[in-house]
Amino acid sequence: MALLEVRGLTKHFGGLAAVSQLDFEVKNKEILGMIGPNGAGKSTVFNMLGGSINPTSGTVVFRGDNITGLPPHKIAGKGITRVFQGNILFPNFTVVKNVMIGLHLQAGIGLFGFLLGGPSAKRRENALHTKAIEILEMVGLSDVADEIASKQPHGKQRLLGLAIAMASEPKLLLLDEPVTGMNAEEVKAMIKMIKALRNKKGVTCMVVEHNMKAIMDLCDRIVTLSYGKKIAEGTPGEISKNPIVIEAYLGVEHNAS
């Protein structure tokens, strides 16, 4: 059984079908990419998977449970975490405190009690600090744990977003353009980190990204959308040579010129 099964997923906005009859699966411990020209429906798919918008029709089954139309907090509770392009909870707090807050939210402890130093928070602070440092070590940020989050370069801020997401102990990470705005070295570091999360922690990932080289280097399989419909699915090698995929991208480029 696949970890995530999507069947007939459809979303209409007025008379426009942003996503139409979409079928795909994400296997356990797989890194699945989703690509397509601008307006292909990728963000709409992620919004439906994360619960921020409800599908018009279709089903989303996660770990055998039908989660179609559940609100975001319930979907997160099932083990799906979305990493947005900007994911730092508190930019003026330290790197480690951001991860600690993520841990507190995951544990269901009152956030304000933690921030104000309430009794229940103080009893757990040392243990959570240790766990936060372990997560930061995993993503390569332990050396900047006590520095202000917003002062970090873009690549490290994106890794911090990943660390905050890992505080929720997800089974499936939805990565929304994880390498956007990064230089070549930062892209390599992020790809290495996502693969390490899968290989060492068993985290399954689904990635939407415009950087084709990154997608080809990162993913096991790729689903390609165009005008809300799936036009191809396969390995990176198969997708890169698929004439329908090539035409979809070149067609958009030609129309824009």
Domain boundaries, the chain: 1-68+170-257, 86-169
- pLDDT mean across residues, the chain: 89
DSSP letter assigned to residue 250: H
CB 66 within 8 A of CB 10: no
In the beta sheet, which residues pair with residue 221?
A: 32
Q: What is the pLDDT of residues 34-84, one digit of tens each?
A: 999 888 999 999 999 999 999 999 999 999 999 999 999 899 999 999 988
Instruction: Tell me the HSE value of 68 on the side-chain side, using a 13 A CA sphere.
Output: 15
At residue 102, does pLDDT exceed 90? no
Specify the DSSP element, H or E, that contains 6: strand 4-13
Please tell me the least confidently modeled range out of 52-66, 93-107, 201-215: 93-107
pLDDT value of residue 112:
55
CA angle, residues 244, 256, 44, in degrees to nearest 5: 65
The CATH number assigned to the domain with range 1-68+170-257 reads 3.40.50.300
Measure the CA–CA gap between 20 and 79, rounded to whole angstroms: 26
pLDDT for 43 equals 92
Question: Over pLDDT 70: what percentage of the chain?
Answer: 88
φ/ψ region of 256 (left if φ > 0, alpha if ψ in -120 to 50, else beta) reads alpha
- Cα four-point dihedral sign 38, 39, 42, 48: positive
H-state helical runs in 93-211:
95-107, 111-115, 119-139, 154-166, 184-201
pLDDT of 15: 85
